[in-house]
Amino acid sequence: MYDVNDLLELALKETENLNNGEVFLVKELFKGYEWNRIPRKDRLLLGTLFLNHISRNASPIQVIEKTTSGQQKYRIQNENSHLVD
């Protein structure tokens, strides 16, 4: 299996396949069985690393509200788009 930094790179790469305005969770960037094979502690760390990366770097990804289960939601928002919330 990959280490958490490799998983972060895979997740960031996968966001390139999302359409403008799409809302997603980090776990949705992986196939279900892949996500389930990642140890829970690494999934939690991956979520933290992803949030920190998005917050500290210029990115078309916006941090939005959390789900009722506490998972952080994100939205792809390209600069040239004029989406209305």
State the average pLDDT over residues 45-63.
Answer: 95
* Residues 80 and 72: beta-carbon distance below 8 Å: no
Amino acid identity for residue 76 in this structure: I
First-to-last C-alpha distance (Å) of the chain: 38
Asked if residue 83 has pLDDT above 50, the reply is: no
pLDDT at 81 over 60: no
**Mean pLDDT across the chain:** 91
Q: What is the pLDDT of residue 19?
A: 95
Averaged over 28-35, what is the pLDDT?
95
* Mean pLDDT in residue range 63-77: 95
